[in-house]
Structure formats: C-alpha cells, structure tokens
Amino acid sequence: MDQSQVYGFVATQHNDTYPAIDPLKSDLSGKNVLITGGSRGLGREMALSYAKAGASGIAVLDVLDSTQVNKEIIETATAAGRPRPKVVCLKTDITNLASVESAAESIKSELGSLDILINNAGYGSPYVSVTESDPEKWWRNFEVNVKGVYLMVKSFLPLILESQDKTIVVLSSIGAHHVVAGGSGYEPTKLTVLKFNEYLMAEYGSKGLLVYAIAPGGVLTAMSSDAFPSHLHHLLGDKPCLVADTLTFLTKERRDWLASRYVDSKWDMEEFLAKKEAILKDDLLKVRLRV
C-alpha cells in the first residue's frame, strides 16, 4: 500500500490547520490531558492546542526540561480567553518503569484524575539498511515507541479508567502501512502499536476504555530531519499544528466508534466523520491480513 491509497481514503487532505478543527471552537473544560514528549515538537503543539481548547489540566512528561512549555501553556490559555489550566510538568523516562510509576503517582496527586492520555513521545533511528544500522539505535525504536507506550498504559490505566472519558490516543504513522527501504527500525514500531491497541480494547473495552491511533502526517522535526535521508525531506511538509488541532477536535467528545482504528490527521475531519457508517459497516481502518 502506498501513501496515496491511505491519504485518498478521504477526498480532501490538509497540511496545515483549518477552521473545522480550530481548538478555539472546542470546549475541553473539566478535562485533564497528559502528553508524553510534550516539551518540544509535536508534543509541544499538542499541549498548546489543548490550552487553546480550555483543558482544565495539562500534564507534560519528557526527558527534557519543560520549563518553557509550562510558561507557554499558561500564556496560550490566557491569550485564548480560557481559564488558567493546572499545568504539571515532570521529567520522565518513559522507557523506565520506576520513572513512569513515579509520574503516575504525581499526576494522581496533582490532578486527581486523567481523562485523556496522548502517547506522543517517539524515537526514529536513521533510515539505513539493516547491515549499515547501529543495533542500539535500531532497538531504541522499540524501547521508546513500543515499550514506552506499554509502560505508560500499564502505569496510568487505573487512573484513566476512573475518569469519564477513559481515552488513550497513540501516535502511529503512515509508515505502518508501507515499506520504505531503511525504515526497518522505526516503521514496524508504528504498526505494532496498532495491534497493541486492539489488545487493550479486548481487555478493557468492557470497562469503558477507548483507544485509537493517529498519524501526524509528514512533519519536519529534529527527529525526522535526522532520521529521514535528505531525498525524503520533501515528504515532511505538514505543520505540527495539524495533528495537534486534530487531536483536540477528536477528543473533545468520546467517539467510541474509533476504537482500535487508525486515523490520519491529513484527512479532512468533516469528510472523515461523514464516513462513519461505511467504516463501521466494513470494519475499516484496522490492520488485517487479506487472503
């Protein structure tokens, strides 16, 4: 499957935010959201979008210092005319169980509840052939993109299940559905989390859990710039606010029909939602073997 088949599922695609998903039109008051990798790149944009949408609590977990984004979240909420959110920034290594468990205890103490968990933190090793790859960097993809998601869910699920929204969104990628030479470390991790989501729904769906995945499009970040060879940089023309505003739009309400499905932020959301019945009828947007 190539990119055009995935993107073409919805007639209209975007590479920047647009009026229908404007976070200023959403109301997430009363909701607490946590974003991993939230101090920079896509995660930072997500935190600011939730601030614009009026989220009452915004937690940022990152291995880097989050002082600047803490300030920006408050400034953004104020500029949007929203009440000042409760902001919690924690230095956390999502690949370390003790670090994640400590963060879960702190979030419970500081926010009391957690409605929405965005598993955004990621790692991408350089796109090189298997024989040219660095084993530690290759395996680091799985440590962050798979183990990190697993540890976050394992540690935060009890708190999430106590909330009203009970929502987890995992960052996937268009790379989960095609093969680009050199991507053997990164791309399989984004496929793995799609299957992991199905196990979560099988085990906790009856308790009200809602889990789905979103792809951010091709965004030029420090990570993607280092990982992608220069001849592929032309594919990285999407703005980070696109996935951020798409997330606030989707999570402003529970959309149970998205359970275990893949959503691409490049899709026009109004056109995508109009396909709901067709998606449910044929159980689309899930990973399956066709024979």
Give the strands of the sheet with 167-171, arranged side by side. Answer: 86-91, 57-62, 32-36, 116-119, 167-171, 210-215, 262-264
Residues with catalytic roles:
186, 190
Tell me, what's the pLDDT at 35?
A: 99
Q: Hey, what are 203's tokens?
A: 């085990």
- CA dist 149 and 170 (Å) reads 8
Tell me what the mean pLDDT of segment 176-181 comes to: 89
Picking from 242, 177, 247, 161, the residue whose alpha carbon sits closest to that of residue 212 is 247
What domains appear along the chain, each with residue ranges and CATH number? 24-281 (3.40.50.720)
**Phi-psi bin for 12: left (phi > 0), alpha (psi -120 to 50), beta?**
beta
pLDDT tens digits, one per residue of 37-63: 999 999 999 999 999 999 999 999 999
Tell me what the mean pLDDT of segment 60-88 comes to: 98
**Phi-psi bin for 268: left (phi > 0), alpha (psi -120 to 50), beta?**
beta
- Residue 104's pLDDT band (cuts 50, 70, 90): very high
pLDDT tens digits, one per residue of 237-276: 689 999 999 999 999 999 999 999 999 999 999 999 999 9
How far from each other are the two terminal CA atoms of the chain, in whole angstroms?
15
Q: For residue 31, report the phi and psi dihedrals to the nearest 5 degrees.
A: -105, 140
